[in-house]
Amino acid sequence: MPKLVKNGQLGDDTTVVVTDASMLTDAVVESADFVVSLDLYNQLLSEAPEKAAKAGLLLNGDQDPASVKQLVKQVSLICIEFPVFTDGRGFSLARMIRDHFDYTGELRATGAFIQDQLFFLKRCGFSSFVVADETKLESAIQSLNDFTDCYQAAADEPQPLYRRR
């Protein structure tokens, strides 16, 4: 099972990715954390708002950031999936969700990102990370702290170095 690194703690990643409304049985809604695409989320909002209320959002960088602006107040889990690790859109999307939309819930990185990006992901506002390869967990946690100091302001440090020097 993929592992979840969250606030420096380790756990199993049990989140269910729901790709179709028919997957949303009562059992799933009751018992599991689940995430849905933006389209499905909007569909649930009109058809089954009680299910929407329990859902997390799964984004991947294809969405116009403005289209999630209103939703972030209603969800407590947003996953941003990296289709390939070299696709850096998720970094900017995360910053907009944190900085512009003031989202304070869990922001999770999923998909093809690599451990060497963890430090940057954290800086951009991600608070949890799905690590598929269990054998790399220890090394990955080390990568989360590759640097102890940074020049720029970001989601983890509102003051750039020049205001702290």
Partner 1 sequence: MYVYDEHDHQIIRERVAQFRRQTDRFLAGELKNEEFLPLRLQNGLYVQRLAPMLRIAVPYGMLNSKQLRKLAHICRHYDKGYCHVTTRQNIQLNWPQLEEVPDILAELAEVEMHAVQTSGNCIRNTTTDQFAGVAPDESIDPRPYCEIIRQWSTFHPEFAFLPRKFKIAVCGSEEDRAAIHFHDIGLQLVRNDKGAIGFQVLVGGGLGRTPVIGSVIREFLPEQDLLTYLEAILRIYNLQGRRDNKYKARIKILVKAMGPAAFAEIVEKEWAQISETPTLLTEKEINRAKSYFTAPPYQTLDEASAQQQLNEQAASEKAFSNWLSRNVCGHQISGYRAVTLSLKPTGVAPGDITDKQLEQIADFADRYSFGEVRATHEQNIVLADVPAAQLYALWQELRPAGFATANIGTLNDMICCPGGDFCSLANAKSIPIAEAIQREFDDLDYLYDLGDIDLNISGCMNACGHHHIGHIGILGVDKKGEEFYQVQLGGNAGKQAALGKVLGPSFGADEMPSVVRKVIDVFVANRIDGETFSETYLRVGIEPFKERVYAKAS
Binding site for partner 1 (CB under 8 A): 61, 65, 85-89, 91-93, 95-96, 99-100, 114, 116-117, 119-121, 123-124, 136, 139, 142, 146-154, 158-163, 165
Comparing CB distances to partner 1, the nearer of 11 and 83 is: 83
CB of 61 to partner 1, least distance (A): 8
Beta carbon of residue 7, minimum distance to partner 1 (angstroms, whole number): 19
Nearer Cβ to partner 1 (8/158): 158
> Nearer Cβ to partner 1, position 19 or 86?
86
Inter-CA distances, 112 with 80, 128, 129, 150, Å:
11, 14, 11, 25
What is d(CA 158, CA 145) in angstroms, rounded to the nearest whole number?
Answer: 18
Query: Least distance in Å: CB of 60 to partner 1?
Result: 12
Question: Measured between alpha carbons, how far is 113 from 31 in angstroms, rounded to an integer?
Answer: 28
Nearer to partner 1, 23 or 161 (CB): 161
| Cα distance between residue 21 and residue 11, in whole Å | 27
In the block, tokens 């179709």 appear at 20
Least CB distance to partner 1 at residue 88 (A): 3
Q: Residue 23 and residue 3: Cα distance in Å, rounded?
A: 23
Smallest gap from residue 27 Cβ to partner 1 (A):
38
Alpha carbon distance 22, 10 (integer Å): 31
Comparison of 46 and 148: residue with beta carbon closer to partner 1: 148
Let me know: does 75 contact 104? Beta carbons within 8 Å.
Answer: no
